[in-house]
Amino acid sequence: MTERLYYNEPYATRFTATVTGRTIINGNHAIILNKTLFYPTSGGQPNDTGTLNGIPVLDVIEHDDDVIHIVEEIILDEIFTGEIDWQRRFDFMQQHTGQHILSQVILQLFNAETVSFSLDTENATIEINRTAFSYEDALQAEKKANHWIYKNVPVHILYPSKAELSILPLRKKPPLGKPVRVIHIEGLDYSACGGTHCALTGEVGVIKIRRWEKIRGNIRLEFLCGQRAVTDYHIKNHLINELTALFSVPESALLDSAQNAGETNKTLHKIIFNLKQKLFTFQAKNLYITSSHIGTIPFVFHTLEDGTIQELQFLAQAIRSQGTCIVILVCGGEKPAFLCSRTDDVPVDLSGILNELKQTFTIKGGGTSSLVQGGLPNETEKERFITALKERITANLT
Q: What is the DSSP string of 50-106?
A: EEETTEEEEEEEEETTEEEEEESS----SEEEEEE-HHHHHHHHHHHHHHHHHHHHH
Which residues partner with 331 through β-bridges?
A: 304, 337
- pLDDT value for 278: 87
- The DSSP result for 243-282, as a single string, is HHHHHTS-GGGHHHHHHHHHHHHHHHHHHHHHHHHHHHHH
How large is the average pLDDT for residues 182-194? 96
CA 221/CA 276 separation, integer angstroms: 46
Q: Is 273 within a domain? A: no
For residue 231, tell me if it sits in a domain: yes
Residues 94 and 206 in one domain: yes
In the prediction, which pLDDT does 114 show? 96
Asked if 226 and 211 touch (Cβ cutoff 8 Å), the reply is: no
Same domain? For 205 and 98 the reply is yes
The last residue of one of the domains, among 84, 107, 128, is 84
Q: Would you say the pTM of this structure is higher than 0.85?
A: no
pLDDT of 306 higher than 80: no
The answer to whether residues 136 and 217 belong to one domain is yes
80 and 94, same domain (yes or no)? no
* CB neighbour list of residue 165: distance below 8 Å, 6 or more residues apart: 174, 180, 182
Whether 69 and 126 share a structural domain: no
List Cα–Cα distances, 269 to 109, 265, 266, 288, in angstroms.
Answer: 48, 6, 5, 27
Residue 42 DSSP label: B
Helices assigned H by DSSP within 111-211: 135-151, 162-167
Last residue of a domain, one of 68, 84, 100: 84
- Residue 262 covered by a domain: no
| Residue 230 shares a structural domain with residue 305 | no
In a domain, 268, yes or no: no
Average pLDDT, the chain: 93
Classify residue 245: in a domain, yes or no.
no
Boundary-marking domain end, from 56, 84, 112? 84
CA 392 to chain centre: 42
Q: Are 200 and 154 in contact (CB under 8 A)?
A: yes
If pLDDT is split at 50, 70 and 90, which confidence band does 276 have? confident
Q: Answer yes or no: is pLDDT of 122 > 80.
A: yes
* pLDDT at position 178 over 90: no
Torsion angle in degrees (nearest 10) through CA of 128, 134, 138, 141 = -60
86 to each of 48, 200, 362, 394, how far by Cα in Å? Answer: 9, 17, 47, 68
Of 97 and 363, which is predicted with more confidence? 97
**Per-residue confidence (pLDDT) for residue 66, from 0 to 100:** 95
- 68 within domain boundaries: yes
Q: For residue 391, is it within any domain?
A: yes
CA distances (Å), origin 145, targets 46, 124, 204: 23, 15, 11
Same domain, 295 and 380: yes
| Rounded-to-integer distance, Cα 42 and Cα 135, Å | 31
What CATH code is carried by the domain that includes residue 362? 3.10.310.40
Lowest mean pLDDT among 34-43, 175-184, 186-195, 372-381: 175-184
Looking at residue 366, what is its pLDDT? 93
Residue 123 is which amino acid? N
Q: Based on the fold, state whether residues 289 and 348 are members of the same structural domain.
A: yes
| Residues 135-166: tens digit of each pLDDT | 999 999 999 999 999 999 999 999 999 889 98
Same domain, 185 and 297: no
Report the distance separating Cα 65 and Cα 80, nearest Å. 19
Q: For 160-174, how does the pLDDT look when each residue is reduced to its tens digit (9 = 90+)?
A: 998 899 899 999 888
Do 295 and 382 sit in the same domain of this protein? yes
Res. 332: pLDDT tops 90? no
Q: Could you tell me if 382 and 287 lie in one domain?
A: yes
Q: Is the pLDDT of residue 373 over 70?
A: yes
Question: For position 177, what pLDDT does the model report?
Answer: 62
Which structural domain, as residue segments, surrounds residue 198? 90-235
The CATH number of whichever domain residue 219 belongs to comes to: 3.30.980.10
Half-sphere exposure of 172 (CA within 13 A, CB side): 18
Segment 2-35, tens digit of pLDDT: 999 999 999 999 999 999 999 999 999 999 999 9
What total number of domains does the chain contain?
3
Domain-located, residue 189: yes
The phi and psi torsions of 79 (rounded to 5 degrees) equal -115, 135
Quote the pLDDT of residue 223. 98
Between CA 381 and CA 352, with CA 319 as vertex, the angle to 5 degrees is 50
For 275, phi and psi rounded to 5 degrees?
-65, -40
Question: Which whole number is the average pLDDT over 28-44?
Answer: 95
The answer to whether 100 touches 205, Cβ cutoff 8 Å, is no
Cβ(69)–Cβ(31) below 8 Å: yes
Across the range 271-284, mean pLDDT stands at 87
Indicate if the pLDDT at residue 59 is higher than 90. Answer: yes
How many C-beta atoms lie closer than 10 Å to residue 235's C-beta? 10
Which of 90-99, 241-250, 300-309, 382-391 is least confident?
A: 300-309
Q: Do 129 and 228 fall into the same domain?
A: yes
Query: Which class for 373: exposed (0-12), middle (13-18), buried (19 or more C-beta within 10 A)?
Result: buried
User: How many angstroms separate the CA atoms of 159 and 298, rounded?
Assistant: 86
Written as one letter, the residue type at 250 is P
In tens, the pLDDT along 196-219 reads: 999 999 999 999 999 999 999 999
